[in-house]
A and B are shown apart, each in its own frame.
Chain A
């Protein structure tokens, strides 16, 4: 296991270094000067500004400065939007709302999805099953921004049950965005658990448990549930990716002051430092999540745990 984690960590560092390098040079070849108001400045003024942000140094120097800063958690300085603010600070200051709706969406979606999938599997081929399968297909298919717009239109505008947008009503503000983000994990978990559960319920050890005289609920909860649930860990990674992707648009739609909304804004105004910083932040976040998920799977599943980590 330790060897496996070690190998994964090395890959993680390589991947991140590649992403950072790639991002850095990408930003350098992008059209347009990073100094937005450059045209209005005289050459002297411009030189001053560029010197302030280190843009006058040769490219390799800029690159190493950047990479060196990264290792220390310094993502650079915003030029256009937040004159001179630390990108790291900008991101950190916006982490709260993003984390809250992301986490709520993940938990809500996964829990409801597990329930839905369980019920569907236990009532296979009944209307309950068909309904839940339909909900799951719809949840996988409808993009989060469509779903978010619908929620906003009906629950916000039409029925006035929740704030239409903005982040000024505490928990209430987080409800609709969280629900919008919950759709994908909900649908994924429901489909996954249903399939797993049906497979597990048809397995020999369940027949043996029945042969021992276990009751329906004992079969479902003591024997089947755990075995169906453990592999769900493997889709937590894709779920996290979907939540992050969704957060860009959902935050935009509900005007949530989170990282995603900031990211989209930076793209609009070509704030390269923020784009780079956020890109790297996202990458680190997702890569770490996927690594953690793999490790978690190994810790929880006794088959993997005790055989010292296959794969």
Chain B
């Protein structure tokens, strides 16, 4: 044995009195337990990307309402003489950016001077002389509206369908799942385009097209979770106590399934934003003068060579929203992960 023995220390009298601790105290000394949601919130706060995205997204939402109001111009008001003006922001024009300089016939000139424009357009103007600042924020508002409504409908249908299918199981589940299997077999793109074609173009048409099969993803994850939880003890206990089906679903299953619903929705929203923009870009979206980020990008693209700013602002905003949502979604998924692992 080479076990090291320290010198046996001299100790003050009374050191060797026996003391009693009860086990409860021992429990208390160990790490305090935190609830699942507290824990999740703690983790999402630690995720800088997600937190930053949340703030950024909040700002974008606020601006989408505030922007059209604080701009002196209506989103659809045309001032033909002010067409295709590059952005000009007073205060930073000396920095060499956003100074109203654009190219005309291959040369760089201050178009505001040239066209005798006294006022400033922060994001410039489009081909019809409309203020891009108010148009972009208004478009953001519309895009977000479409995405949120579509995501909400997806969520509603998906949760109900998946919940019922998983909860009742058996024949009902079999039948409902066959339908979902066929629906998911149809490419989303095809469904969306076909539905858009038969409806009057507009916000409603886009929302319907996006949700017509969009809910299947949500229904699948909800069904999976319900199947997992419904046979667990607390649910069985509630059932033996005579709780009704709807009570069991809402009071007992829902809270446990909430995590996946939130995460799934966080990924549905950017996907809806994308599809709306996509449809608008190929000409199946909103009709003029209504604008969404997608139609603005489409308009801007036509003038990319001469007035790139018309494309730049909506494109940047769209990208920012998409990035923010993906980061928030990732963050939420990581934060809620322990429950999703199975």
A interface list, Cβ under 8 A from B: 11-12, 14-15, 18-19, 22-23, 26, 29-30, 137-138, 140-143, 145-146, 149-150, 152-153, 157, 241, 244-245, 248-249, 252-253, 264, 267-268, 275, 279, 282-283, 286-287
B interface list, Cβ under 8 A from A: 181-182, 185-190, 193-194, 197-198, 270, 274, 277-278, 281-284, 297, 301, 304-305, 308, 311, 315, 318-319, 322-323, 325-327, 330
Q: How far is the CB of B264 from chain A (nearest CB, A)?
A: 15
Query: How long is the Cα–Cα vector from A275 to B194 in the complex, in angstroms?
Result: 9
**Also in contact, A149 and B301, with CB within 8 A (given A279-B190, A286-B187):** yes
Contacts of B193 in A (CB 8 A): 267, 279
Query: How long is the Cα–Cα vector from A143 to B304 in the complex, in angstroms?
Result: 17
Query: How long is the Cα–Cα vector from A279 to B327 in the complex, in angstroms?
Result: 33
Contacts of B188 in A (CB 8 A): 241
**Also in contact, A249 and B282, with CB within 8 A (given A141-B270, A279-B193):** yes
A249 touching B281 by the CB < 8 A rule?
A: yes
Apart from A11-B182, A248-B282, list 8 A-B contacts with CB within 8 A.
A12-B185, A18-B186, A142-B323, A143-B274, A145-B301, A249-B282, A268-B283, A279-B194
Contacts of A153 in B (CB 8 A): 304-305, 308
A26 touching B198 by the CB < 8 A rule?
A: yes
Main secondary structure of the interface of B (DSSP, over half): helix
Query: How long is the Cα–Cα vector from A248 to B190 in the complex, in angstroms?
Result: 12
Query: How long is the Cα–Cα vector from A4 to B305 in the complex, in angstroms?
Result: 53
Query: How long is the Cα–Cα vector from A23 to B189 in the complex, in angstroms?
Result: 13
- Nearest 4 CB-CB pairings of A with B: A141-B322, A15-B185, A141-B323, A286-B187
A145's nearest neighbour on chain B, judged by CB, is: B281
A249 touching B278 by the CB < 8 A rule?
A: yes
Query: How long is the Cα–Cα vector from A26 to B322 in the complex, in angstroms?
Result: 33
A149 touching B304 by the CB < 8 A rule?
A: yes
| Residue with the greatest number of chain B CB neighbours at <10 A, chosen from A26, A30, A145, A267 | A145
A140's nearest neighbour on chain B, judged by CB, is: B326
Q: How far is the CB of A192 from chain B (nearest CB, A)?
A: 13
Q: How far is the CB of A98 from chain B (nearest CB, A)?
A: 14
Query: How long is the Cα–Cα vector from A138 to B49 in the complex, in angstroms?
Result: 13
Contacts of B319 in A (CB 8 A): 138, 141-143, 146
A137 touching B323 by the CB < 8 A rule?
A: yes
A149's nearest neighbour on chain B, judged by CB, is: B301
Contacts of B284 in A (CB 8 A): 267
Q: How far is the CB of A202 from chain B (nearest CB, A)?
A: 13
**9 sample A-B contacts, Cβ–Cβ < 8 Å, listed by A number:** A23-B194, A30-B198, A137-B326, A140-B322, A149-B297, A153-B308, A157-B304, A253-B301, A267-B283
